Every structure is written in C-alpha cells, then in structure tokens.
Amino acid sequence: MELDRDPGTLWSWITGLGEIGGHGDGGVTRMAWTPELRAGNAWLRERYEELGLSVAEDAAGNLFGTWEAGEGPPVLVGSHIDTVPRGGRFDGALGVHCGLEAVRLLQQAGHAPRRPLRIVGWMDEEGARFKTPTFGSRAFAGHDLSGLSGQTDDEGVTLPEAMAGWGRDFERLPEARGVDGIGAYLELHIEQGPTLEERAIDIGVVTTIVAVLGLRVRFEGVANHAGTTPMDRRRDALVAAADGIGRLQEWIATQSYDTRLTVGIIEAEPGGFNVIPSACEFTIDARAVSETAVAAVEREVRGVLASVGEAHGTPCTVRRTHLIDAVPVDPAIADAIEAAAAADGATAVRMPSGGGHDASHVGPHVPMGMLFVPSRAGISHNPLEHTEPGQCHAGARVLARALATLTG
C-alpha cells in the first residue's frame, strides 16, 4: 500500500488546533470542561465531518468519529486533546491528529475497512483542573467515578457543575461505558522521554505500560538543639533520609534501564532552621515492567531503608500509597505495529511506556497497542514540547498501516 508522505495536512492540523487555547509560543492551555476544550472539540468535530465520519459524544464528554464500514465491533484509535496548563501541542493531541491522518491516508489509498474504524478524543486525560486524570477513558472502561463528585477546581467550581455547563449530567456517567462494544484500541503518543531521539529511532513499539508503585517513607529521629548537640549524639531523621535516598540511587543505577525510582516530595519536621529534624518524610514513585519487577523494587527499598534507619538510630516506616498494575500490550498488535513500521521503512524499537495513558484503562478490556514517536529532548507538559513534522507523519503512516491490518 502506497501512502502519501507529505506531512502538510497533518502539520496544519497540529498548528491549527494549537491555536485554540494557545499562548503564541507553542504553549497551550485546554483543560477539561472549559470553553477552550469546547472549542477544541468543535474543531475536532469539523475534521471528523470533513472525513465523512459519523460523530458522537458520550456521557463523559468523549468525542468519537466513526468511519462506518464493514461490520463487527469497531477498531478504536485516538488519544486526548486536553492539556495541562501551558502544556504543548503534541502530548495527547498528536494521537488524535495521527488518527485523523491515518483515516485520510487510508481513504486516499482506497483502503476498504472490513470493520468500522473509530477515532476518539478522550475527555480530561490530564486531570489538571479537577485532579481527575484519564477521566474519559475510565468512564468508557466502566469505572465507578461517583466518588469524584466533590472534586473542585481552583475557583471552587465542582466537577458536576462544570459538566452541567457542557450539558452533561454527572449522574449519568455510567452510561459512558463503551469498552464492551469495541474490538481493539490503538494509541499513538509522544514518547515523553529521550530514548527514541537519542537513538535516532522513528517508532517505539510499546510492549507494556509499566506498573507504578507509590510509597511514603518516614524516618523518626529525635529533635534537638542544632548548637548544643554534638554530631555523634544525634538521631537526625533528615540525615538518615538523605543517606537512604543516596543508597537507593546507587542501587537503582545497577538495575534494568526500564526500572525507575523518583523522590518527588520531601519534608523535615519540625522544620526549624536550628532544630535537628525529629522526622523526615518523602515519597517514592517506582516503576518497572511487571508486578514482579516492581515488587522486587519494593523489597529492596524496604530492606535498604530499614538498615539505614537502624544505622542512624532513626526507625523507618514505609507505607504503600498505591500500586497500579502493569498493562500488557496485545502481542499481535505489537507485531502489527512493528510490521507496519518495517513496511513504511521506519526504524522501530520495542520499549515499555513509563507513563500511564488512556490505553491503561482500555487495555485491560480489549486487545490494545501503543506506539511512540520521538519527543525532542524528552520534554513534555511544556511549551517546548516538539516533534518534527516528518517524525509526526511517520507515526501517522505506521498507525495507518497497523489500522489497515487490524481492519483488513
């Protein structure tokens, strides 16, 4: 199958949608249930209509465009067009743009799908306004979201109020469950990491969405006077924490390239300039390709920190705050994406997705696949987020070829 290799149309969509909620410097703010996202959805609806797709919005605000063709459950492809505040034009949106371009290319190439092909723009993947990430895809997957009714934005507007402003009823969210009616799900996303760019590879074929472990660590020491307490008489919880963080860094450096550990938040108590800390708490975000791998990280963290606590006379407790299972990609879809890359002359590498995506919630229900395109310097959630037009279009073509296989 010959596919047009001109990125012009795709790029015009990227820049066009980027002006909606745009700051003029590449930065974009289109948060959930705002006029900016509503304008973005209107833009998307126009593209759907231009391509002859039938348009539908569900009870969660997910916006679908269906190439009604063939029969059976549709193949779903897409991502999200909401952003974080001052995010970029690629995180999420590129997956929707490439879905559109894939349909355009397949139509141009005369592809006749034997199953319907449906594009989706998920509502509120970022969750930046109401702390409700992957809202739309969770509703689509049938999650119970009733506990989110009290979520408020910075202005005190509640989520149900914001939905009502769109003509959506929070109480009717369960009607958004739609995962049972589709046959497969594909998502293209920017890598949000440096690997593809550094290795000059066109396509990342995602093998799994990693497991995410959240821990809260607390060392308990003894508060004392910074001036009168000799160094060798201290039980300093912050010194213990620093030692523990250092040791975990040394250990993690010896582990798999795909295993990650991050301390994002730290606090010392009582937090006085001249008081030896009586306690130090910090968070750990650990990621690995499977539950087994992440359990090994947890065991090591607990072991290392317990021995550090003992050495400093500052007992350590480690509390698990969350554990999100890894979501494996369907092997046949990964193979299809890899074959599509080869057919298009693109280089590809298999890699895990270190971040969660809408695919994390759809994947447990239907065969799911994901592909990455390079992110310049790995930057995302930032106006500097960038992927070259040619790299974007390579992704769209590989996506089109994979969709041709799945709907062929």
Toward a copy of itself, which CB reaches closer, 117 or 329?
A: 329
Asked if residue 51 binds a copy of itself (CB under 8 A), the reply is: no
Applying CB under 8 A, among 85, 355, 383, 408 the residue interacting with a copy of itself is: 355
Asked if residue 157 binds a copy of itself (CB under 8 A), the reply is: no
The SS3 assignment for 233 reads: helix
CA distance 62 to 213: 28
Contact 368, 184 (CB under 8 A): yes
Contact 408, 380 (CB under 8 A): no
Applying CB under 8 A, among 57, 267, 291, 325 the residue interacting with a copy of itself is: 267
Applying CB under 8 A, among 105, 276, 301, 305 the residue interacting with a copy of itself is: 276
DSSP 76-137: EEEEE----TTB-SSTTHHHHHHHHHHHHHHHHTT---SS-EEEEEES-SS-TTTT-TTHHH
Burial of 300 (0-12, 13-18, 19+ CB in 10 A): middle
185 token code pair: 């799900």
Q: How far apart, in Å, are the Cα atoms of 94 and each of 65, 316, 372, 381, 404?
A: 16, 44, 10, 13, 19
Sign of the C-alpha dihedral, residues 285, 286, 289, 294? negative
Applying CB under 8 A, among 107, 152, 158, 224 the residue interacting with a copy of itself is: 224
Asked if residue 271 binds a copy of itself (CB under 8 A), the reply is: yes
Dihedral angle, C-alpha 103, 109, 114, 115, nearest 10 °: 0
Toward a copy of itself, which CB reaches closer, 51 or 242?
A: 242
Asked if residue 338 binds a copy of itself (CB under 8 A), the reply is: no
Toward a copy of itself, which CB reaches closer, 167 or 200?
A: 200
| Window of 1-9, 49-57, 62-70, 349-357 that interacts with a copy of itself by CB under 8 A | 349-357
Asked if residue 383 binds a copy of itself (CB under 8 A), the reply is: no
Applying CB under 8 A, among 29, 62, 195, 387 the residue interacting with a copy of itself is: 195
Q: How far apart, in Å, are the Cα atoms of 97 and each of 87, 113, 124, 157, 373?
A: 17, 20, 17, 31, 13
Toward a copy of itself, which CB reaches closer, 12 or 249?
A: 249
First to last CA, the chain: 12
Asked if residue 289 binds a copy of itself (CB under 8 A), the reply is: no
Sign of the C-alpha dihedral, residues 285, 291, 293, 298? positive
Site size for a copy of itself (CB under 8 A): 59
Applying CB under 8 A, among 42, 265, 311, 384 the residue interacting with a copy of itself is: 265
Applying CB under 8 A, among 88, 193, 363, 367 the residue interacting with a copy of itself is: 193
Applying CB under 8 A, among 114, 233, 299, 319 the residue interacting with a copy of itself is: 233
Interface with a copy of itself in residues 163-192 (CB under 8 A): 191-192
Applying CB under 8 A, among 242, 295, 296, 323 the residue interacting with a copy of itself is: 242
Residues of this chain that interact with a copy of itself (CB under 8 A) are 191-195, 210, 212, 214, 224-233, 236, 238-239, 241-243, 245-246, 249, 252-253, 257, 259-268, 271-277, 280, 283, 285, 287, 353-356, 378-381
